[in-house]
Chains A and B, each alone.
Chain A
């Protein structure tokens, strides 16, 4: 659930521009790759459903560790892949910013964090296909590793950018972000279990969504 929960004006403008430029470059690559693929209409429908679900989950504060939220971005990466997933993340971040959940200027930075989660989850899930049978365990592991990578990306972006108008040292900021990262990983453990369960269910009722044959044995 790595997400930069800051207001506009917190990060310097030049860094915001850089994160936006990088995220736009990623989106351009995604659109170009999607144009080359023959995208099945059912995947677009699935992407729309994922967008609505993720947006809703983003806004629900779960009262543990003082209030947290799930993101399900790794699940989006596993279900939709690394090229369709970032488009879902873009829409979710745009609408989240519109209701005050993260600044407008931070959409680029947050999109980068989400893109890391999506790509890592997809890579780990697909990469362990031949080594590990169990869909829920692979899904949970991919989610957990992806959220860890997303946290590193979030901490890196904030540390590199720096915070405007703050006098505390970089080491104090790094220590503060490490605490946030630790809490995020606790939530990540919950999200990993939820995602693993959801993937197990999907593999039973609609295995073709995960690229499996409908007659494949359930694990």
Chain B
């Protein structure tokens, strides 16, 4: 089977990475200096939002965090006991 030479593959990959970097820089220049959540909200038309910075009744709630942790821990224990791997 033909094996691709290392310099050829490396050049191809480098070209793809450089192109991706240039595309990202152009996209960034078009949208301005925004954070991840802000850019997401802007792209989807959720202009009011600063994305996840505004905490709703669910996100960042300590009680829900502890509840989710307990459910996850209990569920994992049950699964492991029934289906050990």
Q: Which residues of A contact B (CB under 8 A)?
A: 4-10, 31, 34-35, 37, 39, 44, 61, 65-69, 91, 94, 97-104, 130-134, 137, 140-141, 144, 158, 163, 166-168, 172-173, 176-177, 179-180, 182-189, 192-193
B1-24 vs A, Cβ < 8 Å mask (1 yes, 0 no):
111101001100100111011011
Which of A141, A158, A176, A185 is the one whose CB lies under 8 Å from B9?
A: A141
> Contact: B31 with A179, CB < 8 Å?
yes
- By a CB distance below 8 angstroms, the chain A residues around B1 are 130-131
Q: How many residues of B contact A (CB 8 A)?
A: 52
> Contact: B6 with A65, CB < 8 Å?
no
> Contact: A167 with B45, CB < 8 Å?
yes
How many contacts between A and B, using CB within 8 angstroms?
A: 161
Which of A5, A67, A133 is the one whose CB lies under 8 Å from B52?
A: A5
A31-B83 in contact given A8-B59, A97-B59, A192-B17 (Cβ < 8 Å)? yes
Which of A66, A91, A134, A193 is the one whose CB lies under 8 Å from B34?
A: A66
- By a CB distance below 8 angstroms, the chain B residues around A5 are 36-37, 40, 51-52
A/B interface sample: 10 pairs, CB < 8 A: A68-B36, A97-B59, A100-B52, A137-B13, A180-B40, A183-B28, A184-B24, A185-B23, A186-B20, A186-B21
> Contact: B65 with A132, CB < 8 Å?
no
B61-79 vs A, Cβ < 8 Å mask (1 yes, 0 no):
0001100110010000001
A179-B3 in contact given A61-B36, A97-B59 (Cβ < 8 Å)? no
**Residue from the set A91, A94, A97 with the largest chain B CB neighbour count within 10 Å:** A97
- By a CB distance below 8 angstroms, the chain A residues around B9 are 132, 134, 137, 141
- By a CB distance below 8 angstroms, the chain B residues around A186 are 20-21, 23-25, 27-28
CB A185 to nearest CB in B, in angstroms, measures 4
Interface contacts beyond A132-B6, A137-B13: sample of 11 additional A-B pairs, CB < 8 Å, sorted by A: A6-B51, A7-B52, A65-B24, A67-B35, A137-B10, A144-B13, A166-B45, A177-B43, A180-B40, A186-B24, A189-B18
A39 (CB) vs chain B CBs: closest residue: B85
> Contact: B20 with A66, CB < 8 Å?
no
